[in-house]
């Protein structure tokens, strides 16, 4: 698992247009939770967005899958589609060959494959569906959010280095940009944000390694999402017009930061869920939760 996390981080650092974490950290994990056999193909995983309406129904002895899943990463280029689906009694993991589904191609803000997957009464074989009573949708959403936090960490580190190097060599009014007080202040803030997202990624890594909770993933995604916004804004301010040019590398990172901050739940979505949970527990539970989180982070 540490190797997988390092690869995920480096994909973010390189802004590489490749599947990142869907097969091993999400798809394979879902299959294991339902005791389904591993498959050699690339896996596309449903995010579990509120607009998704995948459902199971029965036709005699057959179990059928119908409905849609939107914004599925790299579905058009994958071998199988994996999703967490509920019926009236329990949650199930389904694993269906892509050729039995309808794929409507789409792209993220970064230009990466984010497709709509549609199932029209697809009959499932016994090795394509498994019960997962211990799994809730929030578990999948949290794990997906954790992958995005790690990707954001890698991209943020790369952007900070890119901006630092640019401000070292770019001159204005006979001075290097980094020598202007306001620019130096911005660079310092960016380094602080990079440190903050690194701590968030540690929480996310714990979730992906099985020792963290959905609350840890929520915290990591909230922090990573906010940092992504600050870093992208500051980077474009310091680069000026060159930052948005097609030939320059900066937009490859910032468009991914903007896209990843919304996938598997934006910071607003996770903040509302986390806040509602803490309120429900009552005021006496708040400080112990904060103290425990501080101990884990330290």
pLDDT of residue 190: 96
3-state SS, residue 39: coil
Cβ-in-10-Å burial (0-12, 13-18, 19+) of 181 comes to exposed
Please state, in angstroms and rounded to a whole number, the distance separating the CA atoms of residues 3 and 7.
6
Backbone angles phi, psi at 174, to 5 degrees: 80, 5
Task: Give the helix, strand, coil percentages of the chain, each rounded to 5.
Answer: 55, 20, 25
Q: Give the count of alpha carbons within 13 A of 108, CB side only.
A: 24
What are the tens digits of pLDDT across the range 256-286? Answer: 999 999 999 999 999 999 999 999 999 888 8
* Mean model confidence pLDDT for the chain: 93
DSSP code per residue over 113-156: BEEEEEEEEEEEPGGGEEE-TT--HHHHHHHHHHHHHHHHHHHH
What are the tens digits of pLDDT across the range 21-53? Answer: 999 999 999 999 999 999 999 999 999 999 999
pTM, whole model, 2 decimals? 0.95
**Are the C-beta atoms of residues 267 and 221 closer than 8 Å to each other?**
yes
pLDDT of residue 45: 98
Angle of helix 214-239 relative to helix 137-169, nearest 10 degrees? 20
């Amino acid at each position: 698992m540490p190797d997988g996390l390092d690869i995920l981080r480096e994909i973010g650092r390189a802004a590489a247009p490749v599947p990142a974490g869907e097969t091993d950290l999400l798809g394979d994990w879902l299959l294991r939770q339902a005791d389904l056999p591993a498959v050699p193909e690339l896996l596309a995983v449903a995010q579990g967005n509120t607009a998704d309406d995948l459902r199971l129904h029965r036709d005699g002895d057959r179990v059928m899958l119908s409905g849609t899943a939107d914004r599925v990463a790299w579905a058009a280029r994958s071998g199988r589609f994996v999703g967490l689906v509920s019926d009236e009694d329990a949650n199930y993991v389904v694993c269906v060959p892509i050729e039995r589904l309808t794929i409507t191609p789409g792209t993220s803000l970064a230009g990466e494959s984010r497709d709509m997957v549609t199932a029209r009464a697809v009959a499932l074989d016994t090795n394509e569906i498994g019960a997962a009573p211990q799994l809730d949708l929030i578990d999948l959403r949290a794990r997906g959010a954790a992958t995005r936090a790690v990707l954001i960490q890698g991209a943020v580190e790369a952007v900070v280095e890119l901006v630092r190097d640019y401000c070292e060599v770019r001159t204005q009014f006979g001075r290097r940009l980094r020598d202007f007080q306001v620019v130096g202040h911005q660079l310092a803030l960016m380094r602080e944000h990079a440190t903050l997202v690194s701590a968030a990624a540690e929480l996310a890594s714990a979730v992906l390694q099985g020792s963290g909770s959905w609350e840890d993933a929520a915290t990591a995604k909230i922090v990573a999402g906010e940092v992504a916004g600050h870093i992208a804004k500051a980077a474009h301010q310091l680069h000026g017009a060159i930052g948005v040019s097609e030939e320059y590398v900066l937009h490859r990172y910032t468009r991914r930061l903007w896209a990843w901050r919304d996938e598997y739940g934006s910071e607003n979505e996770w903040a509302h869920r986390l806040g509602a949970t803490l309120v429900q527990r009552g005021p006496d539970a708040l400080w112990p939760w904060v103290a425990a989180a501080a101990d884990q982070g330290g």
